[in-house]
Each structure stands twice: as structure tokens, then as C-alpha cells.
């Protein structure tokens, strides 16, 4: 009882703090210094139409490299934590997925993968990019696992896709250090015309690599979680 | 007439409060994980709401938003890039929490934090 009262007091204090912040908030009228720089320089310098992708892939590309590394680490730890003590034989077969889910997944999975590829490849033009597309690809994996819980994905293949795209990502970044303006500079390839698919230099290539890496990492997490189910 | 940013900001704060309430009062680890996810979502909504400016459009250049007018036509792209990162890392954190909860259940046979007292003092 006292515990719950303490929690409510704490939340009330926090709520009062939030209310003060909310009352004092006026939306900005002008872009901040950094935002203004990105809005002014993205199109002429990098040739990308989507400012958010330009920030993630090129301006803050090093941070994105760190982020996919964090994601890789968490996928690896999930695999490690769940790997120990896995029973050799299942006690009972899982409930069958049902006609709707089984047939629906056969229809939907190719479409989901296509949408994921579309979102990844057009990341520098429209809303999207490597992370979003990678998550869509992994949702295809999730649907496959739901429809067929005993399905096993090749961890070797996932690892190979993941490490190959990661290594290419770093190698392209290093090439930028030598042949262009700096680490992960997208002007390694010609910038092209704004708004075309083959524009923005290296940006679509790096989006594809990020998408593959993120998709593989999420898929590996899902596969690890699914393989330990009802053990 | 409240602005969109104010509504979104209030929603984000409410989600954070709901998430904290759940994390502090629930006993079941799975419920606590869901509560944490709610709070994370709330923080993301708050960050995106702060970047919103009324009368402007998404930070994507096309025929409607020529590159020359971008500074006066688009909203701040920075919060969106930050939140994109935060969402992806959030998925990783959630997967980690679920994996630990699973192992804990396997070794101890319970998800009730009141019965997991080793780290209590």
C-alpha cells in the first residue's frame, strides 16, 4: 500500500514537471543552426532529397556504424543467452498455424520482401532507408516463423550476410577517406541529379548495406527467440 | 486552438507516465518490459513533437519543396534522425530484455520480481 502511494507521489511530481514543460513549450518558428545547415547543404553538396537519410547515412555515418554495431552486439547476446540449455527434443509438437496464416504467408512474404527492398533502395528520395527497410525485411521473417514455427533459418547464411555487409560498409567508409572528403563521404560516386534513383553518390549503396545488416540482425534475434520456444 | 505539436507532446508525456507507472507497480517481468517499451515510445513521440513546426512539411525535397526554399519550408530533420536511431536501438534493448526474462524463467521457474530477491538490500 505504502509502495503504491510512493509510486503515485513520484509520478505526480514527474507529471507536474512535464506539465510545466508542456505549458512553457512554444514550437520553433525557424530551423536551428544545425537543421538550417542540413537543409541548405544537403541537396547541393550530397544530392539527396531526403534530409533524414542524408543525416543518418552521410553526415552522421560514423554514428550509424556504431549503431549497427550495437544492434549486432545485442543480436549476438540474445543468441548467446538463449543458446545454453536448449533441449534436444521438443516435448510436444506446436499447434499448427492454420490454413489462413499458412496460405496468407505464402502470398504476403514475397510482397513484404519486395516492399522492404523498395523502401531501402529509395531511401535517399522518399521516406525510408536502410533501417526502415531492414525492419520490413525482418517482419517477413517473423511471418514465416509464425506460419511455420518449426522452420529453421540457416544461422550461417544470416551471419554471412550480416558480416559481409558490415565489412563492406567499413571498407566503403575507408575508401571515402582516401578518394573523397572523409570517412563515409558519399561523393565517392558521382552525385548525379537530385531526385533520380541513381543519385546521391554512395548513399543508396550504403542504405542497401545497412538494410541487409539490420534485416539480418533482426532475423537472427527472431530466429533465436523462436528456436527456444516452449522448450 | 491547440497546435499539433502540443497534442503530440501531451501524448508523449502521458505515455511516459503510463510506462513508468506500469514498470513501478507490476510484478510480472513481461509486463514490466511492455511498460518500458511504452515509456520509450513516449520519449520518442516527445522528441519528434519538439521538432515539429506549424505550416511546414516533411524534410524531403521534391517538386513541391525545391532545394532553394528548403530552409523556410521543411521542419527540423534532426529530431527525426535521432528518433530513427532510438527506435532501432529500442528494438535491440527489448529483444535483450525478453531473452534475459526467458532465461530467468527457465532457471527459476518464475517471472514474479517479488520472488527474485538476490539483488535486494
Residue from B50, B56, B57, B70 to probe the interface with A (highest A Cβ count within 10 Å): B70
Beta carbons within 10 angstroms of residue A149's beta carbon: 16
**pLDDT tens across B30-67, in order?**
999 999 999 999 999 999 888 888 777 778 777 777 77
Q: How far is A136 from chain B (nearest CA, A)?
A: 12
Nearest of A107, A131, A110 to residue A119 by alpha carbon: A131
**pLDDT tens across A162-205, in order?**
888 888 888 888 887 777 777 777 776 777 777 677 777 778 88
Task: Tell me the sheet residues that pair with B74.
Answer: B57
CA pseudo-torsion sign B16, B20, B26, B32? positive
Checking if the pLDDT of A86 tops 70, the result is no
Please give the pLDDT value at position A75: 85
Residue from A1, A20, A31 to probe the interface with B (highest B Cβ count within 10 Å): A31
Please give the pLDDT value at position B51: 82
Domain ranges of chain B: 3-55+70-115
Size of interface A-B (CB pairs under 8 A): 145
Spatial distance between the Cα atoms of A54 and A62, rounded to a whole number of angstroms: 13
Task: Identify all chain A residues contacting B77, using CB atoms and an 8 Å cutoff.
Answer: 35, 38-39, 51-52, 55
Percent of chain B with pLDDT strictly greater than 90: 26
ipTM > 0.85 for the complex: no
Confidence of residue B2 (pLDDT cuts 50, 70, 90): low
Is the domain spanning B3-55+70-115 CATH 1.10.287.3510? The answer is yes
Beta carbons within 10 angstroms of residue B77's beta carbon: 27
Contact A31 B92 (CB under 8 A): no
- If you average pLDDT over residues A34-42, what whole number do you get? 81
Amino acid at each position: 500500500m505504502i509502495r503504491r502511494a510512493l509510486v503515485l507521489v513520484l509520478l505526480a511530481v514527474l507529471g507536474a514537471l512535464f506539465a510545466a514543460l508542456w505549458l512553457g513549450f512554444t514550437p520553433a518558428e525557424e530551423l536551428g543552426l544545425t537543421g538550417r545547415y542540413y537543409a541548405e547543404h544537403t541537396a547541393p553538396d550530397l544530392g539527396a532529397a531526403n534530409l533524414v537519410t542524408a543525416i543518418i547515412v552521410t553526415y552522421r555515418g560514423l554514428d550509424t556504424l556504431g549503431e549497427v554495431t550495437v544492434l549486432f552486439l545485442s543480436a549476438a547476446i540474445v543468441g548467446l543467452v538463449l543458446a545454453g540449455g536448449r533441449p534436444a527434443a521438443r516435448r510436444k509438437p506446436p499447434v499448427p498455424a492454420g490454413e489462413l496464416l499458412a496460405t496468407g504467408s505464402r502470398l504476403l512474404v514475397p510482397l513484404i520482401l519486395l516492399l522492404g527492398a523498395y523502401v531501402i533502395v529509395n531511401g535517399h528520395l522518399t521516406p525510408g532507408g536502410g533501417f526502415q527497410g531492414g525492419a520490413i525485411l525482418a517482419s517477413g521473417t517473423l511471418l514465416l516463423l509464425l506460419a511455420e514455427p518449426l522452420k529453421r533459418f540457416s544461422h550461417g547464411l544470416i551471419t554471412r550476410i550480416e558480416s559481409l555487409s558490415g565489412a563492406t560498409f567499413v571498407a566503403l567508409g575507408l575508401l571515402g577517406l582516401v578518394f573523397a572528403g572523409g570517412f563515409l563521404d558519399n561523393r565517392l560516386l558521382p552525385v548525379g541529379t537530385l531526385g533520380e534513383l541513381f543519385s546521391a553518390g554512395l548513399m543508396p549503396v550504403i542504405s542497401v548495406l545497412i538494410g541487409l545488416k539490420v534485416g539480418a540482425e533482426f532475423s537472427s534475434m527472431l530466429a533465436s527467440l523462436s528456436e527456444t520456444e516452449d522448450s | 486552438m491547440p497546435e499539433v505539436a502540443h497534442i503530440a507532446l501531451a501524448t508523449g508525456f502521458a505515455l511516459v507516465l503510463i510506462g513508468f507507472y506500469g514498470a513501478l507497480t507490476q510484478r510480472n517481468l513481461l509486463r514490466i518490459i511492455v511498460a518500458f517499451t511504452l515509456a520509450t515510445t513516449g520519449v520518442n513521440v516527445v522528441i519528434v513533437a519538439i521538432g515539429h513546426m506549424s505550416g511546414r512539411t516533411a524534410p524531403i525535397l521534391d517538386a513541391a519543396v525545391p532545394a532553394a526554399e528548403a530552409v523556410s519550408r521543411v521542419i527540423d530533420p534532426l529530431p527525426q534522425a535521432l528518433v530513427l536511431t532510438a527506435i532501432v536501438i529500442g528494438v535491440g534493448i527489448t529483444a535483450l530484455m525478453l531473452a534475459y526474462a526467458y532465461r530467468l524463467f527457465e532457471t527459476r521457474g518464475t517471472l514474479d520480481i517479488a520472488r527474485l530477491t538476490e539483488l535486494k538490500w
